[in-house]
Amino acid sequence: MGIPDHLNCLLRNLYAGQEATVRNRCGTTDWFQIGKGGCQGCILSPCLFNLNAEYIMQNARLNEAQTGIKIAGGNINNLRYADDTILTVESEELKSLLMKVKKESEKVGLKLNIQKTKIMASSPITSWQIDGEIVETVTDFIFWAPKSLLMVTAAKTLKDTYSLEEKL
C-alpha cells in the first residue's frame, strides 16, 4: 500500500515485546506477552484498522470490480464505518465478492463473523452457507453512523436504497 519502511519499522518497534497484566477483585495476574492487538486506548488503533481494511479491499480487487451501485458516475461496491462493511452488488456476484473479502481478511489475521453477516436482497434468494454456517437473509438492516449523521436505515429494496444517483 505504499507505507514507508521507516513507519513500518516504527510501528513494529512500538508494539514489539508488549506485556500486560490483568487486575480483578482477586488480585493481579502474572505479566504475559501480548500476541495480537494494540495498546488500550492507542490513537493509532483506528488508523491501523482502516489501513488493514483498505488493504483487504484492494487485495480482494473490489476497486476493479464492475459490480456495485452506480452513484454520480461512480461505482460503489463497499461502504465502511469502524469495523462494519457493507458490500453492494446488483447480482449473484455477492457471494464471490464476499469470499474474496473473507480470504483476504484471513491473510491479515481477521476472521469474518458469520453470525454478524447478513444478506439483504431485493428479490428472493436461496439460502447461503459459508464454512458450513448459514448466512441470515434480512429485509432491512441498521447501519450506525456518527451521531452527526444520525442513524441510516437501509430501504427494503436496492432500487429505493440507491435511487440517489438521479439526485446527485
Is residue 149's pLDDT more than 60? Answer: no
- Estimate the share of the chain in helix, then strand, then coil, as percent rounded to the nearest 5: 35, 25, 45
Contact 121/156 with Cβ under 8 angstroms? no
* Beta pairing, strands 118-120 & 133-138: parallel
Share above pLDDT 70 across residues of the chain, in percent, rounded to a whole number: 75
**Considering the entire predicted model, what is its pTM?**
0.64
Separation between Cα atoms, residue 124 and residue 131, nearest integer Å: 22
Separation between Cα atoms, residue 122 and residue 153, nearest integer Å: 15
Query: Which of the listed ranges 17-31, 41-55, 146-160 does the model predict with the highest average pLDDT?
Result: 17-31
Is residue 79's pLDDT more than 80? Answer: no
- Check residue 156 and give its pLDDT: 36
